[in-house]
Amino acid sequence: MTNPLTYQELAALMKKGAGVTVDPTEMESRPASGFDEFGLDSLGLLGIVGVLENRHGQALPADADRCKTPREFLDLVNNTLVTGA
């Protein structure tokens, strides 16, 4: 079983992949806030999807890069990694 992606890891990916610095505690306290409120655009999210797909050797759903909030993205990614579908 793969460990679930956390807000801490998502914040690190946002920093590394998109140059966006986000406090993971703030993001976790506002999980329904849009990625745009944290400074992440769709291109940055697409890059994060690519990193996760390479890391786990598994494709994420085609709409992963269209998630609007951290909660939506983490739910989608974690459900995909756990179920393998």
Label each residue of 7-59 as H, E or C: HHHHHHHHHHHHCCCCCHHHHHHCCCCCHHHHCCCHHHHHHHHHHHHHHHCCC
Report d(CA 60, CA 33) in Å as an integer: 22
- Kindly report, residue by residue over 16-65, the tens digit of the pLDDT: 988 999 999 999 999 999 999 999 999 999 999 999 999 989 999 999 99
Domain 7-83 adopts which CATH fold?
Answer: 1.10.1200
In this predicted structure, what is the pLDDT of residue 85? 59
Task: Kindly list the domain boundaries of the chain, sorted by start residue.
Answer: 7-83
